[in-house]
Structure 1
């Protein structure tokens, strides 16, 4: 910044502008090259299965789990690949090495990522060990690492351990003061283990500690009670939200819509939506997408298309999954012409359904004597999306026979 100020105050304006442009361009190129390298590393990791090669790629690229977004994604992919193939020693080598290699003072954020990734690798004992060893690594333990440990328990689906962490472990270390995230994670653990009723005591504790619950807190409880089919408790939670001054907005109704759709009760979800609209609350893209997914899952194409039309007219933009659900359902129902229309719209946004669905569409068009349209679809997919080109070449060759 100082050098830029000297340039701007000591040289002719044209020269100043040119130098500033050169500096900006160089910075952009460095950032661009860095992102290209990270994307290349991510691509390598997604196709590599050899544990030694995965470790070498991470080492060569100097990957860390707490750098920019692409680094975090690449690191997560490496851990997921190693753990799914049961190369647990390699996972430990990779994650332990991350903390040990950091200079002092070591940031807690690195330990947080390691704790979470161990949980996702279903190596919860290593998450716990990392949490217990923070002093050895000279890392200050705060609520952030506690929350990471709870998230690791959730990832490993060890809800009993989550209870122990919340009720016992945090007290062992000087009674770490929980925050909203802590409470939400223990409530999620209770709800996922069919103990949603116990979450009322957590909300009471939040009130005592003057931590205000959010809509997300109550949303977890609503989801838990739907799972346990305790619908009176859902209504009780809605009343509790109002008592706490928490707005019952569309996000909360989306939770209820999703829960109903997951239980093949999409018509009830639609009725709930109609009730919401009568109060002048506007559904959003998520609401409509949930209903479309629900009706498609139940094979009710007419209702799915009806909701889609209302969605578009209301100004809500359909997402990729919305298109994919409808195209799949239309192909299943034999309406390949409408599927083609939606497929074209989807590809305009650079969204392409899975190869199996697209092949289904192509074969359906051929069977409907629309060979030219089928060839057009293949050409568009090959032009816009390089993946599976060899498979599309085979499909195209089959059309020529």
Structure 2
């Protein structure tokens, strides 16, 4: 059931909290006549609010269709806080919302950036015995995208599809892009989200769409694709992205080199790994701890431990303090006994970083190898 997904994946929701999905009434009233919009006739909204208040005091009570119709008209002219406030007032008067009204509320909440309340509204739909429709679910996904939580949106989509709901993620994202005119940050979030879900064609399509929209990719845009392709072992594609990056005047940074170096370390190609490291230094970039750790790990994997320790000492000279990854690479080299000085340096380094359990484990390892303490 969908309710299992909602209440498991979004722990802020529960059957007790779902009934409190509205803004508290005092806060709702405080935004009642704060007529925020993005361009419409103020007289229209004033007329809608007046009509709404008249309906609330009518006997017999107005139907849910009448209430929902006015809320929908207010939402269409983008007075989202006003619609939220009026909804709260209606419910305080005993209004029992239908699925249409709750879909309108979900739409309002995501437009004001209140995604927690958006999913609480979904909880309310389930609590009153309704099943969310395609409009509900598409609106929720669009809200997650607009609020820069693309990975969660795609995860939500995949779970819904697995439960039998028919959703077209491409149409949702395309509609979102047309509606919101996304900037470089939004496009980067979308591309990263699709890469995280292995939706490569969509990621590349969005990347190209960003360029067609006149938005130039920045270093982060390129690094998202380089990192994602390297993790998948598609290093040829990653190199092509680096080539595109340099042609567009964007220079690779430490993150770019780290992604490529990490791939060559995984396949034990230390020659290519060393070449990239040297190329990085020649370009004027200063290798960071991650770069050194990757190269040290590469040397240790092919048992060229002397080279690994030379790099370890070079790090020390440059006041770069090795991390647990660096130490683990050096300690796990089989068949190469470490001397007492090497052990002492690593133990002191771990202690300086507050990694006392790791330091203790290394001390035991030192004793096992019969190295004098």
What TM-score bracket applies, with the shorter chain setting the length?
Answer: 0.5 to 0.7
**Structure 1 residue aligned with 2:170:** 167
Residues 227 and 213 from structure 1, CA distance in 2 versus in 1: closer, same or farther, beyond 3 angstroms? same
CA distance in 2 between partners of 1:159 and 1:92 (Å):
13
Residue in structure 2 matching 1:349, options 353, 360, 365: 353
**Structure 2 residue aligned with 1:94:** 12
Residues 350 and 129 from structure 1, CA distance in 2 versus in 1: closer, same or farther, beyond 3 angstroms? farther
Residues 312 and 154 from structure 1, CA distance in 2 versus in 1: closer, same or farther, beyond 3 angstroms? farther
Residue in structure 2 matching 1:365, options 356, 361, 367: 367
Instruction: Choose 1 or 2 for highest CA Rg.
Output: 2
**Structure 1 residue aligned with 2:240:** 236
SS in 1 for 2:179: coil
Q: CA deviation at 1:206?
A: 0.8
TM-score (norm 1): 0.52
Residues 110 and 322 from structure 1, CA distance in 2 versus in 1: closer, same or farther, beyond 3 angstroms? farther
SS in 2 for 1:175: helix
TM-score (norm 2): 0.55
Which deviates further from its counterpart, 336-345 or 104-113?
104-113
After superposition, the C-alpha distances for 1:53-104 in whole angstroms (9 at most, x for unaligned) are xxxxxxxxxxxxxxxxxxxxxxxxxxxxxxxxx9985655633538827534
**Structure 2 residue aligned with 1:152:** 152
CA distance in 2 between partners of 1:157 and 1:339 (Å):
50
CA distance in 1 between partners of 2:333 and 2:357 (Å):
13
Structure 1 unaligned segments of length 5 or more: list them: 1-85, 116-125, 374-401
**Structure 2 residue aligned with 1:323:** 327
CA distance in 2 between partners of 1:224 and 1:366 (Å):
40
CA distance in 2 between partners of 1:156 and 1:299 (Å):
45
SS in 2 for 1:309: helix
Instruction: Answer whether contact 2:118 2:140 (CA < 8 A) is retained.
Output: no
Q: CA deviation at 1:199?
A: 4.3
CA distance in 2 between partners of 1:142 and 1:236 (Å):
31
Structure with greater proportional helix content: 1
1:373-384, aligned counterparts within 5 Å?
373=373
Residues 182 and 263 from structure 1, CA distance in 2 versus in 1: closer, same or farther, beyond 3 angstroms? farther
SS in 2 for 1:94: coil
SS in 2 for 1:256: helix
Q: CA deviation at 1:143?
A: 5.4
**Structure 2 residue aligned with 1:32:** none
Residue in structure 1 matching 2:258, options 254, 258, 265: 254
**Structure 2 residue aligned with 1:393:** none
Residue in structure 1 matching 2:191, options 180, 187, 203: 187
SS in 2 for 1:248: coil
Residues 172 and 310 from structure 1, CA distance in 2 versus in 1: closer, same or farther, beyond 3 angstroms? same
CA distance in 1 between partners of 2:159 and 2:136 (Å):
19
CA distance in 2 between partners of 1:91 and 1:279 (Å):
45
Instruction: Answer whether contact 1:334 1:364 (CA < 8 A) is retained.
Output: no
Structure 2 unaligned segments of length 5 or more: list them: 29-80, 82-108, 120-131, 162-166
CA distance in 2 between partners of 1:245 and 1:309 (Å):
35
Residues 335 and 92 from structure 1, CA distance in 2 versus in 1: closer, same or farther, beyond 3 angstroms? same
Instruction: Answer whether contact 1:250 1:281 (CA < 8 A) is retained.
Output: yes
Residues 160 and 306 from structure 1, CA distance in 2 versus in 1: closer, same or farther, beyond 3 angstroms? farther
Q: CA deviation at 1:367?
A: 5.8
CA distance in 1 between partners of 2:284 and 2:23 (Å):
54
CA distance in 2 between partners of 1:87 and 1:224 (Å):
28
CA distance in 2 between partners of 1:129 and 1:306 (Å):
61
Q: Which has the higher contact order (CA 8 A, sep 6+)?
A: 2
Q: CA deviation at 1:142?
A: 8.2
- Residue 286 (str. 1) matches residue 207 (str. 2): no
Which deviates further from its counterpart, 260-269 or 358-367?
358-367
Residues 294 and 254 from structure 1, CA distance in 2 versus in 1: closer, same or farther, beyond 3 angstroms? same
